[in-house]
Structure formats: structure tokens, C-alpha cells
Structure 1
Amino acid sequence: MTVVVSLCLSFSFSIPVFASESGETDIINEMISYYSTYQSTAKTDIQRLVEKLKALNSTKGEEWEKIMKYGDYVNTDMNVNVDVLPDGLPNDDSLCITVLGFALNDDGTMKDELVGRLQTDLQVLKNIQMLM
């Protein structure tokens, strides 16, 4: 069995907002602000803003409604496995594990978050080898 481990560096980024009118941009920015501050407790406010955006631009409103629903799903219902692999994974070389990176300290050493991710990955790899 071959296991491929990909180490990716994580960088912060901003979401580009493309709107044909400043009103659309303002609504989208307000939606993002509500979500990042209040997340699932802001559903009513976010839905109000989605409807407002749909009134200005139905296509963009529908797109942002999907984006906001997906964000809610990711933060509430999506199954996330931490420190373990889920059951039922293939037992052949089609299995690929991706380990996300993390920013380094100013002196180039690894932050505890990255060390923890790599230690978890090492333990997972050892567990996979024991199963074979």
C-alpha cells in the first residue's frame, strides 16, 4: 500500500467580492461580517440579506445563498475526523492522506499546531502499516 502525504502551507486570504453595484457589495460584505461574527446564530439576518441581494441580482443572491448554506453545513453538520481515519477507507494504493500545513515561527521553526498535525499523521501512518 502506498500512502501519499501532501504538506500544504496555509495562508490567510480574503474573499474577492465582485458586484456590479455598490449596493450588492455592501450586502455581501454585511453578510460575511454577520457570518464571521455570529455564524449559525445569524441565520435570520443572513437570510434577510440574501433576499435583499436577490432583489438586486437574483443570480448573485442564489449563489450567495448556497455559499452561506454550505458554510453553515461545514460548521454544524459536516463529519470531521480528528486524530483518526474514518472506517471503510480503501485498503490499497488509492488511499491519499493530505496533511495541511501551518505558518512557521519567525525563526523558521514549526509552530505547535504544525507539529501536532505531523505527529497525528505519523501515528495514522503507523496504524495503517499495522493493519497491513
Structure 2
Amino acid sequence: MIKYENANVTYTMDLNNVKKYIHLQATGFFTEEDGKSFINDYNKIVKTFSTNDYKLIIDASELKASTPQVADILEVLLRRYIEVPFKQRYLVSKSITTKSQFRRLGSQIPGWDVEYVDDAKSLL
């Protein structure tokens, strides 16, 4: 598991090899520094297992909408979510604003294939 905490931001990356999922959970209002750290940690962890058999669960249920500068970094991350071959991809959030931001950015990414859900419990 990877844990990160900085000012008003936290994230975790939990790899479950038994149930075959990686659960990425982010909370708060990310800065550019936080976004770059998240991408670096994500790139490190996905190299440690065969992603084809795993679900990617992106839990943004407590993530705040990003500034335009952070949205640019988020777009890079969303491209990585698609480039890494996962069995299934889910975005968890009840926030219309967060879902809307992900949908808008995702619409610019070829192959954007993410299912939007309100709760992660059934996926874990």
C-alpha cells in the first residue's frame, strides 16, 4: 500500500492480489505537486503486477474539483489509466462536479472506458 499526505490532500493506493483490484483513493484539493506525486506513485505500483486481470477502482468520492493547472496533470493521469491494460475501470464519486470534470477530460482521451459508480463497497 502507498500512502501520501500533504496539507489538505491524502491518497492511498491499495493493491489486493486476492480479489484482483487496485483501489486508488484521493481526498482534498490537489496541487500540481500532489498530482505529480500521484502519477509517479501510480506508475511505480502498476509495474508490480499483471494489470490485465485486475480492476482499477478510482475512488474520487472526497476529491475536490481541480484548478485548470491541476486538471492538465489529471488529464495525463487519465491517459495513463487507459494506457495500462486493466480488466475493468471504475470511477467512484457521488459529486456531480467531480464526475463532470472526469467525463469532460475523459472525452478527449481515445478509448476512455470507465464505469461511473456512486459507491466502492460492491467493488472491493
Give me the TM-score of the superposition, normalised by structure 2: 0.30
Give the strand-richer structure, 1 or 2: 2
Give the helix-richer structure, 1 or 2: 1
Give me the TM-score of the superposition, normalised by structure 1: 0.29
